[in-house]
Amino acid sequence: MKVYFRKNLLLWVTLAVLTLLFIFAARGMATRDWVITLLRGLSVGSVTFLVASGFSLIFGLLDVLNLAHGTLFMIGAYIGWTVFIRPDTFVDLIPLLALLSSGFLLSELWAELGKRLPSGRWTRLLPWMSLLLAVGLLVLVLPGYPVTGWNLKVFSQTPGTFAFMADQGLLVLPVAKAFEHPPALVLCGMLLASLLAAFGFSAFKRNTIQAAGWVNWRQIAAFVIVLGVGFTVFFANDALTKFLTGINTSWLFLIAVLTATLSGVALGALMESTLIRPLYSRPIYQLMLTLGLSAIGIEVIRAIWGRPEFTMPKPALFGGTGEGCPATSLGAWLQHQCSTFLLMGGRVRVYNEIFIPLVGIVVLVVVWILLKRSRLGMIIRAGVQNREMVEALGINVRKAFTQVFALGVGLAALGGVLAAPSMGLSNTMGESLMINALIALAIGGLTSYPGAALGSVLVGLIQQVIIKYGAIGIPIPFTEIVFKPTPPLVPASTVLLMVIILLILPNGLLGRKE
């Protein structure tokens, strides 16, 4: 124990100094304000943590600085918003995505088929032809598939208007568009295009893929399930939309969170396996790739959801404002489901200041258990320590890479959809959070998972304390001057903290010693 303290003396001194700073900060304001500021700091810290933890997992194992992480956070928020406000659009999109992705599930079949083909000049052209055919088919078929969405050009149908109406409880979903062509033709066309595209892509590298055999039951089962889901949703479209608009918004919010997280996971897996994988030997170009992806992601969001900012209403569980609010006890809160809670005479927003930190803690614990107790976690921890050794032991680190990337992006998307009701949605929400997360990671230690949590909480706390003091001012001792930190000092304070901590402890607070 004594040795441990002596070895980590600097860490303990730094932590003690930080604690002292917070205690001094507490003396300047009323206890009530202090507690609320702490809760707000925890809230900001939790959202930062969700982004930072994924980033740190990816950086730790894969050595990839994923600069698109902020954009992925934003994409999660926008997807969650779509499910929450416009369930009809969501239901319309499910069959589309299911059919388009189904062909890619049969990768082994395509690989085997590619191997059996006689090689010659025509077989070399085959992938191009099948891709071209797929694209042509999609161009023909996709406009025939109606998706009830919004219209950025008509003000009464912009996402902002829908969000406002939903907030007022006046949301009326527009009438679903009808098919112009026979639906069976459109669906079959999409399925065929997906099969052709998947075959085309796999035929490009037909000499490198090792296929186990014609039939892989797992893949075929997945194919059938995805197709089944797609067709079921397609035929039960109206009923499902009615069901989703009818249920309590808390459940709908849960569905939105799950959808956004799963989309993040899928997006991450797709990104890693197609774009990041060829770049492990050229780390610096990963920066350029992720920057490019980030720019593309922002533009796609602008094209689909438009540039103006809009809000996302809180789920019913946290939205009550009427009689009996703000709640004074837990029982009263459960009864009225108020949006605010009285704590020592001050109002606390339940969603922002209690729910988000709780989710943050749950995610922290779950991922912690995943890292410490599961096989994937073991591979990740070993891979962070020494990647070559793990590979040499015959473990498929590539698969673990894809899983970790997917997990990290999923965490970012989860953070996005959770932050949306409290922060609102804008095209720039990713950037600022990304910088915050980077600072938090640098403070906590870049590859350390608990470090990500500690750093995020510190960043959140310091920002909120400075914002609070911006309102009440700091009396400077021995003078009459009251110093009020200006808004630019909020980012500056965390940046300065990062620089100081990195100069004292170059690996961050909980980083691995070299």
Partner 1 sequence: MTENNTAYRKPQGFLRRNQGLWITLAVLILLPFVIGLFEGASPLQVWTNDSGISKFTQGLAIEIFILALYALSYDLIFGITGLLSFGHSMFFATGAYLTGILLKNFDLPVGITVLLVLAASAVNALLFGIVLPRVKGITFALVTLGLASVFHIVVMSGELKDYTGADVGLQGVVTPAFISPANERLRFYFIALTILILFYLLYKRFVSSPTGRVCIATRENEGRARMLGYNTFYFKLAALLLSSATAALAGTLHALYQPIVSPNVASLGFTVSALLIILIGGVGTLKGALIGAAVYRLLDFGLRRYVGESASFISGAIYIAIVLFVPYGIVGTWALKSPQIKQGWTRLVGMVKK
Q: Which residues bind partner 1 (CB under 8 A)?
A: 65, 275, 278-279, 282, 284-285, 287-289, 291-296, 298-300, 302-303, 435, 438-439, 442, 446, 486, 488-489, 491-492, 495-496, 498-499, 502-503, 506-508
On the CB side of 294, CA atoms within 13 Å amount to: 19
Closer of 153 and 218 to partner 1 (Cβ)? 153
Tokens of 307: 């540039």
- Comparing CA positions, the residue from 188, 90, 198 lying closest to residue 137 is 188
Q: Which CB atom, from 247 or from 270, has the smaller least distance to partner 1?
A: 270
Spatial distance between the Cα atoms of 403 and 380, rounded to a whole number of angstroms: 10
d(CA 252, CA 2): 53
Phi, psi torsion values for 61, nearest 5 degrees:
-85, -45
- Measured CA to CA, the distance from residue 361 to residue 112 in angstroms comes to 46
* Structural contact between residues 103 and 197, judged by C-beta atoms closer than 8 angstroms: yes
Instruction: Rank residues 324 and 473 by Cβ distance to partner 1 and give the closer one.
Output: 473
- At closest approach, how far in Å is the CB of 485 from partner 1? 11
Q: How far is the CB of 372 from partner 1 (least distance, A)?
A: 25
Q: 211 or 293, CB closer to partner 1?
A: 293
Least Å distance between CB 512 and partner 1?
Answer: 12
Pick 279 or 371: Cβ nearer partner 1 = 279
| Minimal distance, residue 489 CB to partner 1, in Å | 8
**What's the angle, vertex CA 16, arms to CA 12 and CA 20, rounded to 5?**
175
Q: CB-wise, 470 or 491, nearer to partner 1?
A: 491
Q: Between 175 and 503, name the residue whose CB sits nearer to partner 1.
A: 503
Find the shortest distance in angstroms from Cβ 383 to partner 1: 18
Q: How far is it, in rounded angstroms, from Cα 369 to Cα 371?
A: 5
User: Residue 216 is encoded by which pair of tokens?
Assistant: 């892989």
Please tell me the distance from the alpha carbon of residue 47 to that of residue 357, in angstroms, as a whole number: 8
Q: How far apart are CA 27 and CA 445, in angstroms?
A: 30
Identity of the residue, 237 or 426, whose beta carbon is nearer to partner 1 in the bound complex: 426
Q: Which is nearer to partner 1, 100 or 439 (CB)?
A: 439
Which residue from 363, 275, 235, 297 is spatially nearest to 77, judged by alpha carbons? 297
How far is CA 396 from each of CA 112, 209, 402, 447, 510, rounded to the nearest angstrom?
22, 16, 11, 21, 29
Provide the minimum distance between the beta carbon of 54 and partner 1 in the complex, in angstroms, as a whole number.
Answer: 17
Cβ neighbours, 10 Å, residue 450: 15
The minimum distance between CB 133 and partner 1, in angstroms, equals 23
Q: How many CB atoms lie within 10 A of CB 404?
A: 26
CB of 442 to partner 1, least distance (A): 4
Quote the Cα angle for 148-135-233, to 5°.
35
Residue 192 host element (H or E): helix 183-204
Nearer Cβ to partner 1 (187/462): 462
Q: Which is nearer to partner 1, 288 or 482 (CB)?
A: 288
- Min. distance of Cβ 11 from partner 1 in angstroms? 16
| Cβ proximity of 47 and 424 under 8 Å | no
> How far is 27 from 23, CA to CA, in rounded Å?
7
Taking the least distance from each CB to partner 1, the nearer of 257 and 465 is 465
Cβ at position 293, least distance to partner 1 in Å: 7
Task: Return the SS3 of 447.
Answer: coil
For residue 261, give every residue at least 6 positions away whose Cβ sits within 8 Å of its Cβ, in sequence order, or none. 76, 410, 413, 414, 417
Which residue carries 């052209």 as its tokens? Answer: 125
Q: How far is the CB of 127 from partner 1 (least distance, A)?
A: 17
* Min CB(65)–partner 1 separation in Å: 7
